[in-house]
Structure 1
Amino acid sequence: METFFLSHGSPRLLIKEMQVRRFLESWKSKVFPEAPKAILLISAHWETDEPVVNYIDGPNDTIHDFTGFPKHLYELQYPAPGAPELAKRVKELLRNGGFDSAEEDRTRGLDHGAWVPLMLMYPEANIPVCQLSVQTNKDGTHHYNMGKALAPLKEEGVLIIGSGSATHNLMKQGPDDAPAPSWAVEFDNWLTESLLNGRHEDVNHYDEKGPSAKIAHPEPEHFYPLHVALGAAGENAKAELIHHSWGSSSISYSSYKFKAA
């Protein structure tokens, strides 16, 4: 099974006409028509010191972890079933892969990095979902290796999705109709070229190799989900750009599919 990295955007995806919204709405018809047994989603919006997976027996709570949006967005619910067996398996695989501190959280639901795109992709909310955290105190290689440890899940019917953003500097946002700034275009192009040409090590060391990397990602949390999805696909995985558009001038919604060679 392929793995994916999706640039998820803000909750306004649910109320605004955007190219990336149409892409996510077409997920089942055009991108991934299979019905996964469960979804493991690595979200930029759950940061922990060590890997943690949410273990929920019952429906997931919907976390409204954003401010300044219309009131009705805070009333939306995405009660996808939890995936306790998958959570146990994730913890087991991570520990077997050398991540001895991997733990589980039995209270945390789905943050907007998970439920906003999933609401457009799987509006029925009937596929079990569990979420895995990122570690901003670690590097890209750490997250790539997490993905490698989780690779067996692909053969067990689990859809692995990293949810973040190809570029993410909220201080550099502008109007949707403004052209993307050169630093964002340069980094976005470098990322696509690196992935399509199999330069995984360059992507793992994006902060050294990528042009304008510190502007594109002042903090790493929105980029690390890509490393997990890439690592889970395998060392010789082939990448495909499955969506590209811009929002707020500088936010790239580049999204990728990774398939084992």
Structure 2
Amino acid sequence: MGSQMAVPVNETFFISHGSPMLSIDDSLPARHFLKCFNQKVFTQKPNSILVISGHWETSEPTVNCITGLNDTIYDFYGFPEQMYQLKYQAPGAPKLAKRVKELLKSSGFNRVHEDNNRGLDHGAWVPLMLMYPGADIPVCQLSVQTKKDGTHHFNIGKALAPLKEEGVLIVGSGSATHNLRALRDTAGVASWAMDFDNWLKESLVNGRYEDVNNYMTKAPCAKIAHPWPDHLYPLHVAMGAAGENAKAELIHHSWSNHALSYASYKFESQLK
């Protein structure tokens, strides 16, 4: 991976990507936040990006290992036609994919797979299209395992922490709240969504990562905020990859559709 020349990356990120409309809807504050990401939030240019998306579920950890350009996967339905014309053809990152597999296996994840055909789903390409519109940074995607728990994903992150020293930007892409059946085109925010979102923020900024790992028993309204855990597990990976005693910071917060939080976090590693 050319790690001898790499500039270490000191942060990992969790991005709430919310609705696919983020790709075109200028009324969403989160869209403007992401468009300013590489000027205001993280100005270093990484040598590659590892993105963990809540939209790729597998029974065991799997990386996409693409040698050419990543395909753009339109894994959403019933949206404006112009969204299906968007493309984000970032180069694949096969060396990073092999390195991810190596690190996970050396940390006890015995079954790690490669997918040589899968491109980037909208949990990956929609935020990356806004963050890095040039599509000139190689991207590798890693799946989540919805039948496992938060600690499993936190441990995946811990295993991948050495990638930061190799100039890799690790981005978890999910949603701080994610109950699609509860979305409404109305003003205001559902009380249960607010309760969970506030708990998550307080837990993260105060370093209560063990509570976040066990959010289903620790958090208020956990089951209604996340009926399925796919969109929260990318946060656990980013949190684990930041390393011991990492500091969490809320870097963006907005709402849409009554119950969809766009809360996004930076995890800053403690210097050795």
Q: What band does the TM-score fall into relative to the shorter chain?
A: over 0.9
Secondary structure, counterpart of 2:231 in structure 1: coil
Q: How does 1:1-261 map to 2 (within 5 A)?
A: 1-16=10-25, 17-175=27-185, 178-261=187-270
Amino acid at match of 1:69: F
Compute the TM-score of the two structures, normalised by the length of structure 1.
0.98
Please give the per-residue CA displacement for 1:48-77, whole angstroms capped at 9, x wherever unaligned: 000000000010000000000111211211
Please give the per-residue CA displacement for 1:167-208, whole angstroms capped at 9, x wherever unaligned: 000011012x51111100010000000001100100000000
Please give the per-residue CA displacement for 1:198-232, whole angstroms capped at 9, x wherever unaligned: 00100000000000000000000000000000000
Q: Which runs of 5+ in 1 are unaligned?
A: none
Write the distance in 2 (CA, Å) between the matches of 1:72 and 1:18.
17
Equivalent pairs counted in the alignment come to 260
Please give the per-residue CA displacement for 1:15-69, whole angstroms capped at 9, x wherever unaligned: 2121100100000111011000000000000000000000000100000000001
Secondary structure, counterpart of 1:86 in structure 2: helix
Runs ≥4 residues deviating over 4 A? none
Give the root-mean-square deviation of aligned CA atoms: 0.7
Amino acid at match of 2:247: K
Write the distance in 1 (CA, Å) between the matches of 2:19 and 2:249.
23
Identical-residue share of aligned pairs (%): 68
Amino acid at match of 2:143: S
Write the distance in 2 (CA, Å) between the matches of 1:238 and 1:212.
25
Q: Which runs of 5+ in 2 are unaligned?
A: 1-9
Write the distance in 2 (CA, Å) between the matches of 1:34 and 1:168.
30
Following superposition, the deviation at residue 260 of structure 1 comes to: 1.5
Compute the TM-score of the two structures, normalised by the length of structure 2.
0.95
Secondary structure, counterpart of 1:119 in structure 2: helix
Write the distance in 1 (CA, Å) between the matches of 2:252 and 2:80.
27
Following superposition, the deviation at residue 235 of structure 1 comes to: 2.3
Write the distance in 1 (CA, Å) between the matches of 2:163 and 2:242.
10
Secondary structure, counterpart of 1:221 in structure 2: helix
Secondary structure, counterpart of 2:230 in structure 1: coil
